[in-house]
Amino acid sequence: MGAQWKAKGKELAANARGKLFGRLAKDIMVAARAGADPAGNSKLRLVLEQARKVSMPKDTLERAIKKGAGIGSEAVHFEHVIYEGFAPHQVAVMVECLTDNVKRTAPEMRVLFRKGQLGTSGSVSWDFDHLGMIEAEPAAPGADAEVAAIEAGAQDFEAGEEEGNTLFWTDPGDLDLVSRALPAHGFTVLSAKLGYKAKNPVDPANLSAEQLEEVEAFLAGIDGNDDVQNVFVGLKG
């Protein structure tokens, strides 16, 4: 959880799946601003691979590319905004948003942070490393995450969100390079993105069950906002 926070439970409900597609569509639109052809746009290629792995409808995917690339009459511009602050009990939080209206998003974030503390730019980011995050699964029995990390050029690795998966950390500039190299070392890439990893995460063991519930409720509220793409939290586990 010291990297990206995810709500507990499997995303099986239709509304959860729709939210996932909505977030991926925004990522595609932003990436497509640098070009609609994934062959010459590594960021777009990575997002499209992730979208296909979760069976995002082809027409939704293609429409997002056109909107982001400004093809046709439905061009959309999203602004990337980071909000920094603390969840209850001084747990550091970085909230990554993609919004078409900052004047709408900013007050919504202020309301959501009422039970925590909304900080200024740089107030929390100093305690996070900006890194590439690649979640991958073994393509065959015996795949060694440590060997794969070394050979593919990753900085580090740890257990992923799902059992059996591995999260590989990279330098931001090496994200695409490592993503391309991992399959040759026995791992199938499930997702690849830039994110934040807390340098000094809080140990949940130092929080009471009630305090931990308050943190989870706060994070769920933040994650439920339509403009929020990712929530990075300074919490171990």
Domain-by-domain residue ranges, the chain?
14-69, 79-126+200-233, 127-198
Asked if 79 and 98 touch (Cβ cutoff 8 Å), the reply is yes
Strand partners, 117: 86
Question: Nearest-CA neighbor of 138 among 79, 182, 201?
Answer: 182
Asked if 167 and 227 touch (Cβ cutoff 8 Å), the reply is no
Per the listing, tokens 């056109």 go with 66
Q: pLDDT per residue over 96-107, tens digit each?
A: 999 989 999 999
- The structure's pTM equals 0.81
Query: pLDDT confidence of 78, banded at 50, 70, 90?
Result: confident
Of the ranges 44-48, 62-66, 153-157, which is most confident? 153-157
Residue 233 has what pLDDT?
Answer: 95
Same fold for the domain at 14-69 and the one at 127-198?
A: no
Q: pLDDT per residue over 14-37, tens digit each?
A: 556 777 888 888 888 888 888 888
CATH class of 79-126+200-233: alpha beta
Residue 150 has what pLDDT?
Answer: 94
Task: Please check the confidence at residue 46 and state whether its pLDDT lies above 80.
Answer: yes
| Structure token pair of residue 159 | 């257990």
Q: Please report which helix (H) or strand (E) contains residue 194, including its range.
A: strand 187-198
CATH class of 14-69: mainly alpha
CATH superfamily assigned to domain 127-198: YebC, transcriptional regulation domain (3.30.70.980)
| Structure token pair of residue 158 | 């740890």
